[in-house]
Structure 1
Amino acid sequence: MMRAANPAVFVGSFFAVVSPLCSTQHVFSFPRRLLRSWIRKQWESTPSAMDNNNNGALLHLVLVVIQLITDADLVTAQEWLWRDIPTYIDQGYVVYHPGPRSGSSAWGDNKGSLWLFGGHTFWDPQTDKDPVLLNDLWRHCTEENSWVLLHSGWQDKKATPPPFLSVPKPRYDSMACGISEIMFVLYGGADDSGYALNDTWVFYQKRKRWINTSKVKKDFRSPPSRWASAVWCLDDSLIIFGGRDQSSLLSDMWSFSFRDFTWTEIQATPWNETGLPRGRSDATTWVGNDDKLYMFGGNIRNPFTHRKLKSAGYTSDLWVFSLENSTWACISGCAHHHSLSSSRRRSNCLASKDIPQCRGKSAGWIDSKENLWLFGGVGNKDLNPLEMKLSKEPFSDLWLFNTQNFTWKMMAPNNSTTKRDGRYRGPVQQYEQPVARYSSIQWSLKDNFFIFGGIGFPPNHPNKSSYLDDQWVLNISYEIRSHLALTPSVIFFFCLASITAILLLFCASVSVQRCRHFPRLTHPDGRDYKVKYSPLTETTSFDS
């Protein structure tokens, strides 16, 4: 049996694809899964007069048009939620909450716990002029939103170590990692005098005891002293890149094995003409699938210049490192192109609205689709990277990088500190999203992204940067949606495909009409031999 083609199929497909063209803001968005199932339902429920091959070919063409001009797996919902806490920014350090701080070392395990060590804070924000550097250790249960103080370190303003306590000295911007329910590893950082450290410590979670690996392991080799390095935490190792010491930036790469507690230098090579990343500090990192390590931005200026020009040296390049073959490749924001001026190549900062502005000390997460998320940071908000300023500016924008097509997309712009009318939660006003900040603590649990603290402009001090202790969670969800990318090539391809589909429908209709005038000959045994004949009229004669 053959069926007649239903024009509603093509009409429905046409409007489903054309509708997003009506607005550059993509107000109408048709779920592609529903569209595909609707088309198939129309074909199955309507008598068709086309051969099965033609039927499948036409259906395939319509679906290919929809597939090629749409993007899959787009974010359909994202929302910042403020998490209530038992203290607020002006209450300082308390024994049931870390309090406002910055520069802490943190690691989030796969059991929903955050481990936090040291950093700067204020004992009493009302009277203290300078922050205090700590070496306390905290664990945060994400699901219960509760903090547990595992040890208070030296916990006095003079920071004098008790003789019986063996813990890492107070520090900031050190590197941390670990193994769930087994150990927490800490390396390097800078002390209260600004000197770089290179000691490696292991905290055994069940025994609640610190071990200095250099004292228990003979011939222990450690990387050069540093702080603010790029860090990646893997299942069995901690990997670091770059960082800075008192006088220079570093560009070496090291791996610390959790199996035998040994450091090994990684000899990296360039994958293509983009070369190797320059030495830097304060970069944002992500761990992807297939042994891929991502690194964005940071500061590439020497410490002396950075102290004079606070916004100088921040970059906007995104690099990926392959653990399989130890190669680096720049995949976005690369400033090596020959068409750029020499000053822009030296700054390594590209002026573009399609990529995040040059920055460092941002928060980063990776979701279940292996998209990279970037929030906040500090740098220069000017699109001209050569306009260096004496002060640095914090960000509050949110970006997403698609690792499939290597493109950035801004998910939320920089916000103000305007409160949401009529909505309060506890003693703190509820805001649409976190205020601008940098050096915050970030971790994730599935597709829920968390940030805590940092340096920014709190609601009660909108014109003065302060240490923060608020906690936020970003919830995202995905759905396959039809979302048209309105470009000349897309419009041309769509028009060409539409004309082709109309011609195919016309030819199919003509074939159907011709077939209706030629009935088939059926054998008496019931089998159809697909033999066609012409009907005879009463005046037909076979006489010669």
Structure 2
Amino acid sequence: MSKTVYFLLFILLPVAHLKAQLNWQEMKHSQPTESEAQSLLRRILNDPDYYLGSNAFPSPRTGANSWQDNSGNIFVSSGLGYDRHGSWGLLDDLWKYNPANDTWQLLHGEGKALSEFVENTSTPSPRRNALTWIDREQSLWLMGGKQFSDTEYLYDLWKYNTRNNTWVRISDATKTNVSSVWSKNARNPEPGNIPGSRAASATWVDKDGRFWLFGGISRNYAKPSEDLYNDLWMYEPSTMTWTWVAGNNIANYKGIFPSKENPQPPGPSARSYSAAWYEKEGHKLWLYAGIGIDSTGKDVGALADLWSYDITSSTWHFVSGSTKLYARSEGDEDYLSYPGYRSHSITWKDKNGKFYLYGGQNKVTNNIVDTKTHIWQFDPALAKWHVLLTDNVPTTIAEGSAYSDDAGHIVLFGGRKLNRNTSQTYPTNQLWKINLK
């Protein structure tokens, strides 16, 4: 049984002790009789509580695809991890979690871990770091993502009808590593325009029900290396058409920041694994950090810049942060200016329109990962970050799925777990909750 294990140096930097002390709680679930595979993994990972899931609870995973409907139900699909038999691969399943009664339901698939691509015309193939949206009819949309291999990127587009529990394939593309097709000019919708294969893009749904996509990572058969993008796309579900809105039609575009000569730069650099939020009041797309290209165009690393895209005026604005790679957070007693460099962060938004960012991976050097596990709150009205301290810290530190309800409760599922005894990280299926009120 092959597995991927990351070694992690867990670092908490001193920050201002702000007003509220919040408390994370792990939601424990009854476990069936321990299997031989689970017992073996517990010994290998030195984790006596490691749980492989069941037919009533999802197995451990990272890089899963997720959604939340208007009723507060959370949907989780695929990702990379272990199935309940202990096999390693991409998980073939779709789950629904009801926070009101704390129950999971397996909607599709068998939850098996697959290491080879399986083409299916009725359901999406297992994948990780795909692009997701939810439409006004509460259907789940899924596009692209990575296969088990790090060299194969998907392009297909699917829609899941939550009323009759069926998948429908919208695009007929079955190939991997499909190149993007741009129109001659941005904001000019032409037939055949497509963003191509990609994963780990930032995505949003605006108040008009349109889907948005920024950047991400991909590759094509002509090049042996992966490419990062900074193009912004809009998808109109009613007409099923893509429009290239902004950004560049070349890969690995460098960052350009405001200056006296150029007070309004064209937009963020090419990047992937960024944090993203939609602001309904200002009709803006917000984007923070990720793995991307620096301002010289020569280096790739962890970014620490915050941008907003004004949909009404069709313009990008640099808001705050640093123009350098691996910039750390700074600030005074009450407000820290920005969370610092990171990627693979966990994000959500509350009913008052404030954004939240938790954890994330900062830097990998010789298998050492530096992470931060504070909750950061961003108020778009003030354009300021605010640190929230907690009484305890979840062992989930990156690549999980988090959503909020109207009562201020946050649910965090899956992602990458930190074993504080061994400093290793690996996929988890832990379920955490916190009340931010």
The separation in 2 between residues aligned to 1:220 and 1:261, in whole angstroms, is: 15
2:66 match: 176
1:231 match: 132
CA 1:453–1:161 in 2, change beyond 3 Å: closer, same or farther?
closer
- Structure 1 counterpart SS, 2:216: coil
- Structure 2 counterpart SS, 1:319: strand
Q: Is the Cα–Cα contact under 8 Å of residues 291 and 324 in structure 1 kept in the other structure?
A: no
TM-score normalized by structure 2? 0.62
Q: Is the Cα–Cα contact under 8 Å of residues 329 and 339 in structure 2 kept in the other structure?
A: no
Give the unaligned 5+ runs of structure 2.
12-19, 32-37, 111-119, 173-180, 184-188, 257-264, 384-437
Shift of 1:211: 1.9
TM-score normalized by structure 1? 0.51
Provide the aligned length of Structure 1 versus Structure 2: 315
2:166 match: 262
Q: What is the root-mean-square deviation of aligned Cα atoms in Å?
A: 3.9
Q: Is the Cα–Cα contact under 8 Å of residues 254 and 295 in structure 2 kept in the other structure?
A: no
- Looking at secondary structure, tell me which structure has more helix per residue: 1
Structure 1 residue aligned with 2:203, among 280, 285, 290?
Answer: 285
1:417 match: 328
CA 1:441–1:164 in 2, change beyond 3 Å: closer, same or farther?
closer
The separation in 2 between residues aligned to 1:294 and 1:451, in whole angstroms, is: 20
Matching of residue 447 in structure 1 with residue 353 in structure 2: yes
The separation in 2 between residues aligned to 1:433 and 1:286, in whole angstroms, is: 22
- Structure 2 counterpart SS, 1:436: coil
- Structure 2 counterpart SS, 1:299: strand
Shift of 1:405: 2.5
Matching of residue 370 in structure 1 with residue 283 in structure 2: yes
1:199 match: 93
The separation in 1 between residues aligned to 2:21 and 2:71, in whole angstroms, is: 17
- Structure 1 counterpart SS, 2:312: coil
The separation in 1 between residues aligned to 2:337 and 2:142, in whole angstroms, is: 35
Structure 2 residue aligned with 1:332, among 243, 246, 254?
Answer: 246
- Structure 1 counterpart SS, 2:108: helix
Task: Tell which structure's C-alpha radius of gyration is larger.
Answer: 1
The separation in 2 between residues aligned to 1:253 and 1:411, in whole angstroms, is: 32
2:272 match: 360
Q: Is the Cα–Cα contact under 8 Å of residues 320 and 337 in structure 2 kept in the other structure?
A: no
1:28 match: none
1:296-315: CA deviations, max 9, x gaps?
Answer: 00001269988xx6xx4110
Within 5 Å, which residues of 2 pair with 1:364-443? Answer: 364-367=276-279, 368-384=281-297, 387=298, 392-414=300-322, 416-417=327-328, 419-420=330-331, 423=333, 431-443=336-348
Structure 2 residue aligned with 1:275, among 193, 197, 209?
Answer: 193
Within 5 Å, which residues of 2 pair with 1:6-85? Answer: none
CA 1:162–1:360 in 2, change beyond 3 Å: closer, same or farther?
closer
1:313 match: 227
Identity %: 23
Shift of 1:447: 2.9
The separation in 2 between residues aligned to 1:162 and 1:376, in whole angstroms, is: 32
The separation in 2 between residues aligned to 1:244 and 1:418, in whole angstroms, is: 31
Amino acid paired to 1:378: I
CA 1:261–1:165 in 2, change beyond 3 Å: closer, same or farther?
closer
The separation in 1 between residues aligned to 2:358 and 2:56, in whole angstroms, is: 28
The separation in 1 between residues aligned to 2:363 and 2:22, in whole angstroms, is: 24
The separation in 2 between residues aligned to 1:451 and 1:475, in whole angstroms, is: 12
